[in-house]
């Protein structure tokens, strides 16, 4: 099922060569179009309000990487065409709204600190707990996921996970499900290499 998702072999190139326009001006959360696409922001799409994981540009135009329900294709995550007028960027929202620059997609090992940025819970971090997990979601069984201790809230599917060094980040994947109770959470992301 996951192998059927859109090919993302050039994700590192797409992210690192995306425009470096500053995030000043309208954000994706309040504009929807003519906006710089920043990971962790929400964006109004035909499917409803979605969360931007990562963005880039290919021969067909500008896209975002997000997960179900905003990703309508086979599998649970992949590329979705961005609204006309959108501008891709290599950025993810960091602590206090600061911008982190995604410079690659090197996958972190189990035990590493991993962070997620979402429009509901903001920027928060936890521990990467396990890889190649199989989870039975209401929509079916999904394999190849990475489990973390980061709290996940409703409305954040598609949010980006990164590892951080200074102002730079390595893209890890996009949120596909999880929970949070009393500040303790579990979340699962689809690794970017798994989206090929």
Strands (E), 59-158: 61-67, 77-81, 91-93, 99-104, 113-118, 122-137, 140-148
Mind listing the pLDDT tens digit for each residue in 84-125? 899 999 999 999 999 999 999 999 999 999 999 999 999 999
Domain that holds residue 113: 95-195
Q: What is the Cα–Cα distance from 119 to 30, expressed in whole angstroms?
A: 12
Report how far apart, in Å, the C-alpha atoms of 114 and of each of 1, 29, 31, 48, 169 are.
26, 24, 29, 28, 10
Query: What's 120's domain CATH number?
Result: 2.40.10.10
Q: Are residues 83 and 99 in the same domain?
A: no
Report how far apart, in Å, the C-alpha atoms of 117 and of each of 30, 60, 93, 114 are.
17, 27, 6, 10
Q: Are residues 190 and 100 in the same domain?
A: yes
**Of the candidates 91, 124, 152, which is a domain's last residue?**
91
**Of the candidates 41, 64, 91, which is a domain's last residue?**
91
Q: What is the Cα–Cα distance from 180 to 196, expressed in whole angstroms?
A: 29
Q: Name the pLDDT band for 72 (thresholds 50, 70, 90).
A: confident
Q: Say if residue 30's pLDDT is above 80.
A: no
Give the H/E segment covering residue 50: strand 48-51
Q: Say if residue 2's pLDDT is above 80.
A: no
Q: In which residue are the tokens 């060094």 written? A: 165
**Of the candidates 91, 119, 142, which is a domain's last residue?**
91
Q: Are residues 85 and 119 in the same domain?
A: no
Please answer whether residues 171 and 104 qualify as being in contact, where contact means their C-beta atoms are separated by less than 8 angstroms: yes
Q: Say if residue 51's pLDDT is above 90.
A: yes
Please answer whether residues 28 and 85 qualify as being in contact, where contact means their C-beta atoms are separated by less than 8 angstroms: no
Number of H helices and E strands in the chain, helices first, is 1, 13
Q: Say if residue 165's pLDDT is above 70.
A: yes
Q: Is the peptide bond before 69 cis (omega within 30 degrees of 0)?
A: yes
Q: In which residue are the tokens 């690794």 written? A: 191
Q: Are residues 111 and 187 in the same domain?
A: yes
């Amino acid at each position: 099922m996951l192998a059927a998702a859109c090919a993302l072999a050039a994700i590192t190139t797409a992210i690192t060569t995306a425009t470096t326009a500053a995030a000043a001006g309208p954000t994706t959360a309040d504009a929807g179009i003519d906006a710089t696409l920043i990971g962790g922001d929400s964006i109004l799409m035909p499917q409803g309000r979605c969360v931007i994981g990562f963005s880039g540009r290919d021969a067909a135009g500008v896209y975002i990487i997000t997960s179900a329900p905003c990703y309508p294709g086979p599998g649970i995550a992949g590329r979705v065409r961005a609204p006309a007028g959108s501008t891709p960027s290599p950025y993810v929202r960091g602590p206090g709204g600061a911008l982190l620059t995604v410079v690659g997609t090197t996958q972190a090992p189990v035990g590493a600190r991993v962070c997620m940025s979402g429009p509901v819970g903001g920027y928060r971090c936890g521990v990467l707990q396990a890889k190649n997990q199989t989870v039975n979601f209401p929509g079916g069984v999904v394999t190849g996921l990475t489990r973390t201790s980061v709290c996940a809230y409703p409305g954040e599917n598609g949010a980006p996970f990164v590892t951080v060094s200074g102002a730079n980040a390595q893209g890890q994947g996009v949120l596909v499900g999880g929970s949070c109770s009393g500040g303790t959470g579990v979340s699962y992301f689809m690794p970017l290499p798994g989206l090929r």
